[in-house]
């Protein structure tokens, strides 16, 4: 009989080093005021030494410690990232070795800022079919490794972090991953991408000179669709489940721009006190933003058993989606 996938653990890891708006003012023609008012960001974290697998392993180890669980109990590791340690082997394999998850298999999943949503939905399938009992879904990105710090419109946005959840089966269908809506629109590809280094444009001196190994974003174009896409899909999942803003305890939005988050909350008729927010301290950490919110709000006691959550994101691809979750445990 199909079971229900429920989140039973959270953990996160952020590097110590901060890159503040004041630091950026010294590096380029920008101001703290511009960055704060246009994006809501004040500082981000930077991983100076190490790779995405270190961010992910740090997050999973935090989760295991809190759960008092051994890495050897993990069945499957799904890694959402656009900054894998390397093309291959998969970052999931590197993480499996780093944390000592001897029994686990795993794979990487690429959906940019929607990566955690896509990975959570995928992980839930493996649990609800009864195939696996302990599935780690981790979102981790070392965005500083693909950020051009001379591109002032974009470099101010991104930071590095990793965060993870544990999915397990439950017989109690009230809790867990209750519903989801996910979308792709490949027509959005030209507006947000990294075109260098892959099979289309293998690395050459020219691809490096043309900065094709950095994030390219037409911010204005992406903003216009993200602000509608994230609000629409968040509203849609509420309506589909006969919920109103009053029934939702938390919006857990991808942290790309505070103005996109505010528009989403407004569409859902949610008070800002019901919106998880940490963009001011971390910026956009791509696949890590949503689980990083979950882990922080759980750790400080604000995220509680029985609460209804709408997780939603919009990102490169374009990709976007929302997941309805009923939270199942207290601190």
Residues in touch with ligand UT7 (CB under 6 A): 30, 34, 38-39, 113, 152-153, 156, 219-220, 222-223, 226, 256-257, 260, 284, 314-315
Measured between alpha carbons, how far is 49 from 45 in angstroms, rounded to an integer?
A: 12
End-to-end alpha carbon distance in the chain: 30
Residue 222 CB, shortest distance to ligand UT7, in Å, is 4
113 vs 275, beta carbon nearer ligand UT7: 113
Beta strands in the chain (DSSP E): 4-13, 18-20, 43-45, 76-80, 105-109, 135-142, 160-170, 176-184, 192-193, 216-217, 250-253, 308-315, 319-326
Can you read off the two tokens belonging to residue 319?
A: 């990709």
b/e burial code for range 66-87 (CB count within 10 A of at least 16 → b): beeeebeebbbbbbbbbbbbee
Nearest residue (CB) to ligand UT7, 29 versus 171: 29
Catalytic residue among 4, 12, 254, 257: 254
| CA 65 to each of CA 60, 105, 205: distance values in angstroms, whole numbers, following the listed order | 9, 21, 45
Annotation marks residue 155 as catalytic: no
What is the nearest approach in angstroms of ligand UT7 to the Cβ of residue 152?
Answer: 4
Do residues 165 and 7 make contact, with C-beta atoms less than 8 angstroms apart? yes
- Residue of minimal Cβ distance to ligand UT7: 219
Judged by beta carbon, residue 39 or residue 147, the one nearer ligand UT7 is 39
Among 113, 154, 155, 293, the one annotated catalytic: 113
Options 21, 154, 257, 284, the catalytic residue: 284
Minimum CB distance to ligand UT7, residue 256 (Å): 3
Q: Closest distance between ligand UT7 and the C-beta of residue 158, in Å?
A: 9
Residue 102, both tokens: 């001897």
Q: Please, what sign has the CA dihedral across residues 144, 145, 151, 157?
A: negative
At its nearest, how many Å lie between ligand UT7 and the CB of residue 25?
A: 9
Note if 113 is an active site residue: yes
CB of 118 to ligand UT7, least distance (A): 14
- Residues 262 and 272: their CA atoms lie apart, in Å, by 8
d(CA 69, CA 237): 33
Nearer to ligand UT7, 260 or 303 (CB): 260
Residue 61 is a catalytic residue: no
Closest separation in Å from C-beta 17 to ligand UT7: 20
CA distance 61 to 70: 9
Name the region of 63 (left: φ>0; alpha: ψ -120 to 50; beta: rest).
alpha
Q: Which is nearer to ligand UT7, 39 or 234 (CB)?
A: 39
Which among 186, 158, 177 is positioned nearest to 322, based on CA atoms? 177
Catalytic residue positions, numbered: 113, 254, 284
């Amino acid at each position: 009989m199909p079971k229900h996938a429920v989140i039973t653990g959270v953990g996160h890891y952020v590097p110590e080093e901060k890159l503040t708006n004041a630091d950026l003012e010294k590096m380029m023609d920008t101001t703290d005021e511009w960055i704060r008012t246009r994006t809501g960001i004040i500082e981000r974290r930077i991983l100076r030494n190490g790779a995405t697998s270190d961010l992910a392993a740090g997050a999973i180890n935090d989760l295991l410690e809190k759960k008092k669980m051994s890495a050897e109990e993990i069945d499957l590791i799904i890694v959402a990232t656009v900054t894998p340690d390397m093309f291959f082997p998969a970052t999931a394999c590197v993480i499996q070795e780093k944390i000592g998850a001897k029994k686990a298999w795993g794979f990487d999943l690429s959906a940019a800022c929607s990566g955690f949503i896509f990975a959570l939905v995928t992980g839930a399938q493996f649990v609800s079919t009864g195939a696996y009992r302990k599935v780690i879904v981790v979102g981790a990105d070392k965005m500083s490794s693909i950020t051009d710090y001379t591109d002032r419109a974009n470099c101010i946005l991104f930071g590095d972090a990793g965060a993870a959840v544990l999915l397990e089966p439950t017989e109690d269908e009230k809790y867990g991953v209750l519903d989801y809506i996910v979308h792709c629109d490949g027509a959005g590809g030209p507006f947000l991408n990294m075109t260098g280094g892959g099979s289309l444009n293998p690395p050459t001196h020219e691809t490096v000179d043309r900065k094709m190994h950095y994030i390219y974003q037409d911010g204005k174009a992406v903003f216009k669709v993200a602000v509608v896409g994230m609000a629409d899909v968040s509203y849609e999942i509420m309506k589909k489940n006969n919920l109103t803003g009053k029934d939702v305890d938390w919006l857990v939005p991808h942290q790309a721009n505070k103005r996109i988050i505010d528009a989403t909350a407004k569409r859902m008729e949610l008070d800002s006190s019901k919106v998880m927010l940490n963009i001011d301290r971390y910026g956009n950490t791509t696949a890590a933003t949503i689980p990083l919110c979950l882990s922080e709000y759980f750790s400080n006691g604000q995220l509680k058993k029985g609460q209804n959550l709408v997780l939603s994101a919009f990102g490169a691809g374009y990709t976007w989606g929302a997941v309805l979750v009923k939270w199942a445990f207290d601190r």
